[in-house]
Amino acid sequence: MPASDSSSDSVASEPALGRRNFLRHSVVSIGATVQEFIKHRDAPSGEQAQEVKVREKSGWLRPPGAVQEDQFLERCTKCGDCIDACPHDAIEQLSIQETPGIYPGDTPCQLCEDFPCIHACETEALMPLNHVHEVRMGVAKISQNICTVGNGCNACVSKCPTEAMSMDFGAFRIVVNEGLCVGCGMCQYICGTVNDRAAIRVVSPEMC
């Protein structure tokens, strides 16, 4: 009689065990489904990914002394010597080409007088310069519609190392002397630091 009770209890417990296993696997399955949904929900669309890629392509500058882009790509060996030589860590390896570049909005070029980055380049991808004013990394462009000069901001003027930025009091706006601008990116960096959105963007020579 006791044996019969034990067998009966075992049979009775099997459905409960099955239900627990079913519920456990269901919870795990739902969790995996939620994670997969979140992953795909947060992943950028093809259009967004392309936008990020374009933004990265157009957002950087070559280091001082860089030859024309086609020549630069032929001569640069991606050795990273100019990156290591930069005392301000302004030059970094671009993720899309593995070649050296500068993101002026993050870390502008400090225009070192002795140009250690150029001296470190042994393939003439960066050519010697005699003076800071010979640098031609790009030209600063100002979006007047988002510039906050009307609110009293003119921080870029005082921070420009080549005095290429000035205040036009007649039109009450900031202007750029493209003959003096070397494209170091200091104005873009300062503008982005003191404002929610940078109104200045340094454009590479190929885009000027």
pLDDT tens for 32-90 read 554 554 454 554 555 544 444 444 455 899 999 999 999 999 999 999 999 999 999 99
The closest alpha carbon to 116, from 141, 143, 91, 95, belongs to: 91
pLDDT tens for 155-178 read 999 999 999 999 999 999 999 999
Q: What is the DSSP letter of 66?
A: B
State the pLDDT at residue 50: 45
Q: Give the pair of three-digit tokens for residue 44.
A: 């950028």
State the pLDDT at residue 96: 80
pTM: 0.71
Q: For residue 119, with 0-12 CB atoms within 10 Å meaning exposed, 13-18 middle and 19 or more buried, which class applies?
A: middle
Percent of the chain's residues with pLDDT above 70: 71
The closest alpha carbon to 200, from 190, 185, 188, 182, belongs to: 188
Cα–Cα distance measured from residue 138 to residue 20, given in angstroms and rounded to the nearest whole number: 67
Helices (H), the chain: 2-42, 46-58, 69-75, 81-85, 116-120, 155-159, 186-194
Contact 188, 201 (CB under 8 A): yes
Q: Give the pair of three-digit tokens for residue 121.
A: 């380049």
